[in-house]
Amino acid sequence: MDPSEVEFLAEKELVKIIPNFNLDKLYLIGGDLGPFNPGLPLYVPVWLALNLKQRQKCRVVPPDWMDVEKLEEMRELERNAATFTPAPCPYYMELTKLLLNHASDNIPKADEIRTLVKDIWDTRIAKLRLSADSFITQQEAHAKLDNLTLMEINTIRGFLLESLNCMYKLRSNLQPGSSKGPLADY
Amino acid sequence: MFVTDIRKEFYEAVADQRVALLVASDIDALCACRILQALFQCDQVQYTLIPVAGWQDLGTAFLEHKDQIKLLIKQDDDLGVPSYDEIFRDDDEDEEGGDSGNESDEGTEPSGKRRRFDEGSVERRIERQREKREWEARRREILFDYEQYEYHGTSAAMMFFELAWVLTKDTKDMLWWAIIGLTDQWVHDKVTHMKYVTDIATMQRHVSRHNHRNEDEENSLSIDCMRISFEYDLRLTLYQHWSLYESISNSCYTCCHFKLWTLNGQKKLQEFLADMGLPLKQVRQKFTSMDMSIKENLREVIEESSNKYGMKDIRIQTFGVHFGFKNRFLASDMVHATTALLESTEKDENETDNFIKALDSLSRSNLERLHSGMDLAKKKLIAIQQTVASCICTNLILSQGPFLYCYLMEGTPDVKLFSKPMALTLLSKYLLRAFIQSTRNKRCRLLPLIMAAPKDVEKGTVLVVGIPPESETSDKKNFFGRAFEKAAESTSSRTLHDHFDTSIIELKTEDRSKFLDALITLLS
């Protein structure tokens, strides 16, 4: 999967906006989008929120988890725990990037939020690398990791599968007699 | 066409149609075009962008699109005070060429009138014909007065910013473009100082409104957001992107006051720097790497010293923008960079490419282009100073009676840069100011200047520019447009009055002398 595909999936998440125009209810295939009234907040998917923001038709309200104190707490929890703590949001990395690139004037303390989210991401990816490393060296058969987001899984997927493939090839070459012939790669 | 309510009569009429934008080649038009593009993108209006360099281009573009388009909008801030754009309307009934306001108010063309032949009222017909002749004479007189002088009105970019403000779609980007459009008028000396200061005050109100909107809570903005601030900054061109020494040596104001083409002038400059306590090594370094202790009070220190040396107006009111950690620009820096890109004479570049590059450099995401524009601008400024120095030292400026005249020979270094109208105009203004400083003849100081430079060596044409005399109270009205036309007619010289700015024309090199003689007789 490409990171841009993950971002595309993340754009379906709902975010609160405050429009400045009038429009009746929209009936889209993915669902209904409520009537737009100026000054009244409502939830819309991120793709629509960004489009409206770029056309200066709305103001974006930052999601609840995008707050400096909450993110600081989460960062501390993440650093202290050995396993993964629940992420702020299933698509926290993509949403941070999208919202801070296009709507940073509506989000207070945007720079600090960017740093905090990056810190959380770095800690989690470090844990993931360690875990993948021990999985390969100890030649485990299966592992279970909770609370991973799709972006993190996508980051490690290519490397992990390739290395497991290589390990399998190396192992099967060490035992020439019991080789089952060339098997298909995953 | 006069428009009183720009939102209803202009924008709403246009917003649901397909628009063709014909844009002239100067920075003010570019900025206005950017603002309009941003507005169109907000409202998803389809538009076609056509750069035009002169009346002929305008004509060809109009004819090309004639069948599809009913209403054309072009930006140009030439000629005439209240109107800021020209609108050509091509209806089926009458062909009205609406030309910058006043003309279309003079009355409709009588060509559409059907004459009814009424035998009983022959006297009435004679009466009408006499009235028509008088009316025509009066019209010619008014038109002559109108077209005699040429001057610039309010910046087009500012007009479009006001439109965006009325639609409440104004952003900081648009405000910055409006400021650049206004500064372009000041840099190229198109408006009086009073008008510039008044317009700056208007822009200052908008700037404080935008700044208040964002900084009222204690939560400050991200560092990447654009911040515009009012600056009472030095008049040294590009000094923050160059070294201080280079900037002082190549800015018109300082160069003319110190007379830096003489040895005496160079000594005075060294004294000036010593007076301020700035070590030469620091001053020749890039501005960004100068010591912080020197940079802190630089403006006040320079202002104090320059007052002693007779430069009372070293500081000018302007605006600066600041986004990200590295990027600080003054409005005049951007004007110089974009002008250099628009008129760059590098090989393999045609005018449309230059136009697109210059348009791109105005947005925040194209910083490398902006920096390359600044490098080109630095080269252009150095070339201008060297040309000015050589012209004055070799007495190339001749007094022809009613005006001064200077011709750049073909072998002059960097003469290719001056085959473009704006560069040549800038050169002539610097040259006139330098000449006034260096001449002893009191009468010569009040004369206008005509400058000629080779434009196209193969076709054998020169570019001729006329600028009004330099005086404290000048209202920047330029009468050379009509003068050039009349001189060309009387000598049947082969000229091309294509440029929107009528005081800039193209002339065949062979006809140069008789054209000049005709001008001398005309103006004396």
- B224 part of contact set with chain A, CB < 8 Å: yes
Measured distance CA(B236)–CA(B315) in Å, rounded? 9
> Comparing B103 with B510, which gets the higher pLDDT?
B510
- Amino acid of residue A89: C
How confident is residue A185, by pLDDT bands cut at 50, 70 and 90?
Answer: low
The pLDDT value recorded for residue A182 is 57
Least confident of B78-92, B312-326, B341-355: B78-92
Looking at chain B, the whole-number percentage of residues with pLDDT higher than 70 is: 83
- B328 phi and psi angles, rounded to 5 deg: -125, 125
B41 to chain A: which residues are within 8 Å by CB? Answer: 55
- Find out whether B3 and B130 touch, Cβ atoms under 8 Å: no
Residues B278-298 pLDDT 10s = 888 888 888 888 888 888 888
Rounded to a whole number, what is the distance in Å from the CA of A51 to chain B's nearest CA? Answer: 10
A107 to chain B: which residues are within 8 Å by CB? Answer: 222
How confident is residue B391, by pLDDT bands cut at 50, 70 and 90?
Answer: confident
**Cβ distance of B221 and A105 shorter than 8 Å:** yes
Looking at chain A, the whole-number percentage of residues with pLDDT higher than 70 is: 94
Measured distance CA(B215)–CA(B259) in Å, rounded? 46
**Cβ distance of B222 and A56 shorter than 8 Å:** no
- A48 part of contact set with chain B, CB < 8 Å: no
- B393 part of contact set with chain A, CB < 8 Å: no
The pLDDT value recorded for residue A178 is 52
B45: closest chain A residue by CA:
A55
- Find out whether B23 and B500 touch, Cβ atoms under 8 Å: no
Alpha helices (runs of H) in B263-407, residue ranges in sequence order: 263-276, 280-283, 292-296, 298-308, 331-342, 351-361, 367-393
Residues B41-53 pLDDT 10s = 888 888 888 888 8
- B43 part of contact set with chain A, CB < 8 Å: yes
B214 to chain A: which residues are within 8 Å by CB? Answer: 105
Answer yes or no: is pLDDT of A76 > 90.
yes
Looking at chain A, the whole-number percentage of residues with pLDDT higher than 90 is: 48
A100: closest chain B residue by CA:
B222
Least confident of A108-117, B33-42, B475-484: B475-484
> Comparing B29 with B121, which gets the higher pLDDT?
B29
B43 to chain A: which residues are within 8 Å by CB? Answer: 55
Question: Which among A57, A108, A111 is the nearest to B223, CB-wise?
Answer: A111
- B395 part of contact set with chain A, CB < 8 Å: no
Question: Which among A56, A57, A110 is the nearest to B222, CB-wise?
Answer: A110
Helices (H) and strands (E) in chain B, counts: 20, 14
Question: Which among B42, B43, B225 is the nearest to A105, CB-wise?
Answer: B225
- B356 part of contact set with chain A, CB < 8 Å: no
- Find out whether A71 and A120 touch, Cβ atoms under 8 Å: yes
The pLDDT value recorded for residue B106 is 28
- Catalogue the long-range contacts made by A3-7 (C-beta closer than 8 Å, 24 or more residues apart): A3/A151, A3/A154, A3/A155, A6/A91, A6/A94, A6/A150, A6/A151, A6/A154, A7/A94, A7/A97, A7/A98
Residues B452-468 pLDDT 10s = 888 877 788 888 888 88
Residue A134, token pair as written in the block: 């021990």
Tell me the mean pLDDT in the region B82-106.
26
- B217 part of contact set with chain A, CB < 8 Å: yes
**Cβ distance of B214 and A105 shorter than 8 Å:** yes
Measured distance CA(A82)–CA(A76) in Å, rounded? 12
- B223 part of contact set with chain A, CB < 8 Å: yes
Answer yes or no: is pLDDT of B146 > 80.
no
B42 to chain A: which residues are within 8 Å by CB? Answer: 55-57
Tell me the mean pLDDT in the region B368-385.
91
**Cβ distance of B225 and A104 shorter than 8 Å:** yes
CATH of A3-173, one of 2.60.120.260, 3.40.50.10490, 1.10.150.120, 1.20.58.1020: 1.20.58.1020
A66 to chain B: which residues are within 8 Å by CB? Answer: none
> Comparing B72 with A28, which gets the higher pLDDT?
A28
- A15 part of contact set with chain B, CB < 8 Å: no
A57 to chain B: which residues are within 8 Å by CB? Answer: 42
The pLDDT value recorded for residue B235 is 86
Rounded to a whole number, what is the distance in Å from the CA of B404 to chain A's nearest CA? Answer: 53
> Comparing A130 with B57, which gets the higher pLDDT?
A130
Residue B264, token pair as written in the block: 């005496």
Rounded to a whole number, what is the distance in Å from the CA of B447 to chain A's nearest CA? Answer: 52
Answer yes or no: is pLDDT of A120 > 90.
yes
B222 to chain A: which residues are within 8 Å by CB? Answer: 100, 104-105, 107, 110-111
- A51 part of contact set with chain B, CB < 8 Å: no
Residue A107: which of A166, A38, A48, A59 has the closest Cα?
A: A59
**Cβ distance of B43 and A55 shorter than 8 Å:** yes
The pLDDT value recorded for residue B113 is 33
- Secondary structure (DSSP) of B208-264: HHHHHHHHSSSSPPPTTS-EEEEEEEE--TTGGGSBHHHHHHH-HHHHHHHTTTSHH
Tell me the mean pLDDT in the region B110-139.
65
Looking at chain B, the whole-number percentage of residues with pLDDT higher than 90 is: 7
Mean pLDDT of chain B: 78
Residue B270: which of B313, B309, B310 has the closest Cα?
A: B309
How confident is residue A77, by pLDDT bands cut at 50, 70 and 90?
Answer: very high
Question: Which among B171, B214, B225 is the nearest to A56, CB-wise?
Answer: B171
Least confident of A67-81, B1-15, B358-372: B1-15
Unique residue bearing structure tokens 């050169």: B427
How confident is residue B273, by pLDDT bands cut at 50, 70 and 90?
Answer: confident
Rounded to a whole number, what is the distance in Å from the CA of A53 to chain B's nearest CA? Answer: 10
Least confident of B149-153, B246-250, B400-404, B420-424: B149-153
Answer yes or no: is pLDDT of A135 > 70.
yes
Residues B208-239 pLDDT 10s = 988 877 665 545 667 777 888 898 888 888 88
Which positions 113-172 of A are in contact with B (Cβ < 8 Å)? none
Q: Which of A50, A55, A56 to substitute to test the interface with B, most B CBs within 10 Å?
A: A56
The pLDDT value recorded for residue A11 is 92
Answer yes or no: is pLDDT of A122 > 90.
yes
Domains of chain B in start order, with CATH, are 395-523 (3.10.310)
